[in-house]
Chains A and B, each alone.
Chain A
Amino acid sequence: MVMVIDTPIDRSSDRPAYKQIADRLRELIDSGRVRPGDRLPSESELMSETGVSRATARRGLGLLINEGRAVARTGEGVFATGQPKRLVNRDPARTLTDFREMVGAHQLQGPNAPAARNQGFDYDVTLRTLEEAPVGPDIAKHLGVDEGTIVFVRRRLVRLRPTGSELAFRPAKLADSYIPLEIARGRIRDERTGPGGLYARIEEQGHALTHFREELVFRMPGPRESHLLRLGQGVPVIQHTRIAFSGERPVECFRAVLAGDLHEFEYRIDAE
């Protein structure tokens, strides 16, 4: 079992030593070199291999346990459990076509909450901000407006936890909706957008939704995303963009950044 942490801990780095320890062990687990059930180095072994204090070693192992990559067994040690369980996003835009039937109080949760619960996850959504802000080049292109145009933005954070576990919620997804100002009226600016959610409110303004375009890009996170999602070093993300159209006109752009080790997308594709 004993594995050597080859790369020494860099004391001069901005990255705390306990996170570096977690990074090394995470890489071993995610690459499969350490398999589920393998015992990870103990606190004492980490201390003698890397020269860190017991507190640092403990914090490093604790980080992996919180991520769902390892589990502590009293008297036996800490064992790898493999990658955390992933939430499967099934046909994301298609589930939206039911939005007109969506009723119920928990509108902030959005259409994904019931599916997450069915997969055995506790699903927590918080509203980060509601604001007017200028759009960058990417979102501007999707909305068909000039870069820097002010739009209304709803920013949310989704956190996940396997149901029944004692672990803390993990930040899992940043989800932002960008709406042109002339459409962002009434309840669209409220914390709770009401039955049917954002799309129902947009339709009520006279913009019947005709279709959605979705894009997935697979990349490394930027520093802000890494920080907000508390991502370990080297954990990539999935960038999910969805644009709602009323005929030729884009009426909303949704942009989500999802932790790559907690999510999976599934699409059913008909042969016709």
Chain B
Amino acid sequence: MTAARANRPDAMVDPTRDRPVYKQIADWLRDMIESGELSPGDKLPSETELMRRFGNTRTTIRRAFSTLAAEGRVRAERGVGVFVKEVVRDDALVRQPYDRLARHHYRDEGRSAMYIDALSQGLGSDAVRQDRVQLDEVPAPERVAARLKIEPGTTVFRRRRRIRMGELPTQLSNAYLPLDLAVGQLREERTGDGGTHARIEELGYPLTHFVENLRVRMPDPYESHALRLEAGVPVVDLIQTAYSETTPVECFTAVIAGDRYVFKYRVEAS
């Protein structure tokens, strides 16, 4: 039924219905998106076209657009028009987990994993910004304690920060270190070339491997606000443990905007 409605050549809204006219117009546009008549990246009919088609005011048309924007289905490009939202942004970063954590980056080149991500979009290391940095000692949350193989509630060192690529926030992260590792530059706001992983190795813990778990969920209001997420964009809930042989040395958790990263992996067949 909905597809038929969208295909009717002279779709009219019915002002006598209880449903507000702007919602009826939004319904019509939404049908076109859901039926696939309009695909991600496609431009919606312009305000003027829709005013003409439905015989309505610009204000009403704009309300219809706002309704769809609040649902996360469309985005407006000032001066150009309203577009069906892409799943992943054009300027999304490529995260290559098998590569970005490699030792040659952090030890030999002095580049942490974040900078490797920036390079994927041709951005320089100066594009990576951190803010809202918070350094403190806290009781280890359950998930973190389990991975660090310590009792839940044991005091650990925590570094919280928000990462931006240029102006756009991309992730909120917490890095947890056992207290006996949290020494020297690891307790400072800037951990130096190669970041935390280079410093941990210097303490005598060569990193052998990482285990990374990824889940998806909707953001909570704080995360939505801090990451400046548009409506309807989920977040990746990531937890990564760094190991020196069998000893976990760091547990890192992050909330990553779902539309700002594509995760890519390459695996040899034998």
Chain A interface residues toward B at CB < 8 A: 12, 30-32, 86, 88, 93-94, 96-97, 209-220, 222-223, 234, 236-239, 244, 260-261, 263-272
Interface assignment of B132: CB less than 8 Å from any CB of chain A:
no
Complex contact A260–B215 (CB within 8 A): yes
Complex contact B101–A269 (CB within 8 A): yes
Complex contact A209–B216 (CB within 8 A): no
B89 to chain A, nearest CB (A): 11
A236-B258, A271-B101, A272-B102 given; A219·B234 CB < 8 A: yes
Interface assignment of B114: CB less than 8 Å from any CB of chain A:
no
Nearest residue (CB) in A for B270 is A97
Select the residue from B19, B72, B214, B267 with max chain A CB neighbours within 10 A: B267
Report A-chain residues with C-beta under 8 Å of the C-beta of B262: 215-217
Report B-chain residues with C-beta under 8 Å of the C-beta of A215: 262-265
A269 to chain B, nearest CB (A): 4
Complex contact A220–B232 (CB within 8 A): yes
B34 to chain A, nearest CB (A): 5
A267-B97, A271-B208 given; A220·B268 CB < 8 A: no
Complex contact B87–A30 (CB within 8 A): no
Q: In whole angstroms, how far apart are the Cα atoms of A271 and B270 in the complex?
A: 19
Select the residue from A217, A239, A260, A268 with max chain B CB neighbours within 10 A: A217
Q: In whole angstroms, how far apart are the Cα atoms of A216 and B208 in the complex?
A: 24
Interface string of B193-225 (1 = CB under 8 A from A): 000000000000011111111111110100000
A214-B264, A264-B213 given; A272·B103 CB < 8 A: yes
Q: What number of A-B contacts does a CB cutoff of 8 Å give?
A: 120
Report A-chain residues with C-beta under 8 Å of the C-beta of B209: 268-271
* B89-110 interface with A by 8 A CB criterion: 97-98, 101-103
Report B-chain residues with C-beta under 8 Å of the C-beta of A244: 269
Complex contact A216–B215 (CB within 8 A): no
Nearest residue (CB) in B for A246 is B269
A92 to chain B, nearest CB (A): 9
A97-B267, A211-B266, A218-B234 given; A264·B211 CB < 8 A: no
B74 to chain A, nearest CB (A): 13
Q: 21 A-B contacts, Cβ less than 8 Å apart?
A: A12-B19, A30-B218, A31-B220, A86-B215, A88-B213, A96-B269, A213-B266, A215-B264, A218-B234, A218-B235, A219-B258, A223-B34, A260-B215, A260-B234, A264-B215, A267-B97, A267-B265, A269-B98, A269-B101, A269-B211, A271-B208
Q: In whole angstroms, how far apart are the Cα atoms of A220 and B216 in the complex?
A: 10
A217-B262, A219-B258, A236-B258 given; A212·B213 CB < 8 A: no
Complex contact A220–B234 (CB within 8 A): yes
A30-B217, A210-B268, A215-B262 given; A266·B88 CB < 8 A: no
Q: In whole angstroms, how far apart are the Cα atoms of A220 and B266 in the complex?
A: 25
Q: In whole angstroms, how far apart are the Cα atoms of A270 and B218 in the complex?
A: 30
Complex contact A213–B102 (CB within 8 A): no
Q: In whole angstroms, how far apart are the Cα atoms of A148 and B217 in the complex?
A: 33
Size bracket, chain B contacts: 35 or more
B212's partner among A30, A96, A267 (CB-CB below 8 A) is A267
Report A-chain residues with C-beta under 8 Å of the C-beta of B220: 31-32
Complex contact B213–A237 (CB within 8 A): no
Complex contact A214–B267 (CB within 8 A): yes
Report A-chain residues with C-beta under 8 Å of the C-beta of B72: 220
Interface assignment of B117: CB less than 8 Å from any CB of chain A:
no
Complex contact A269–B217 (CB within 8 A): no
Q: In whole angstroms, how far apart are the Cα atoms of A236 and B267 in the complex?
A: 26
Q: In whole angstroms, how far apart are the Cα atoms of A272 and B262 in the complex?
A: 22
Report B-chain residues with C-beta under 8 Å of the C-beta of A219: 87-88, 234, 258-259
Report A-chain residues with C-beta under 8 Å of the C-beta of B212: 266-267, 269
Interface assignment of B10: CB less than 8 Å from any CB of chain A:
no
B216's partner among A12, A260, A269 (CB-CB below 8 A) is A260
Report A-chain residues with C-beta under 8 Å of the C-beta of B234: 218-220, 236, 260
A242 to chain B, nearest CB (A): 9
Since A269-B98, A269-B212 are in contact, a sample of 9 more A-B pairs with Cβ atoms closer than 8 Å, ordered by chain A residue number, is: A12-B19, A93-B267, A96-B269, A210-B268, A216-B263, A218-B214, A234-B218, A244-B269, A270-B208
Report B-chain residues with C-beta under 8 Å of the C-beta of A88: 213
Report A-chain residues with C-beta under 8 Å of the C-beta of B19: 12
Report A-chain residues with C-beta under 8 Å of the C-beta of B235: 218
Report B-chain residues with C-beta under 8 Å of the C-beta of A263: 215
Complex contact B267–A218 (CB within 8 A): no
Complex contact B214–A216 (CB within 8 A): yes
Report B-chain residues with C-beta under 8 Å of the C-beta of A260: 215-217, 234
A140 to chain B, nearest CB (A): 13
A211's partner among B208, B264, B268 (CB-CB below 8 A) is B268
* B118-137 interface with A by 8 A CB criterion: none
Complex contact A212–B267 (CB within 8 A): yes
B214 to chain A, nearest CB (A): 5
Complex contact B265–A213 (CB within 8 A): yes
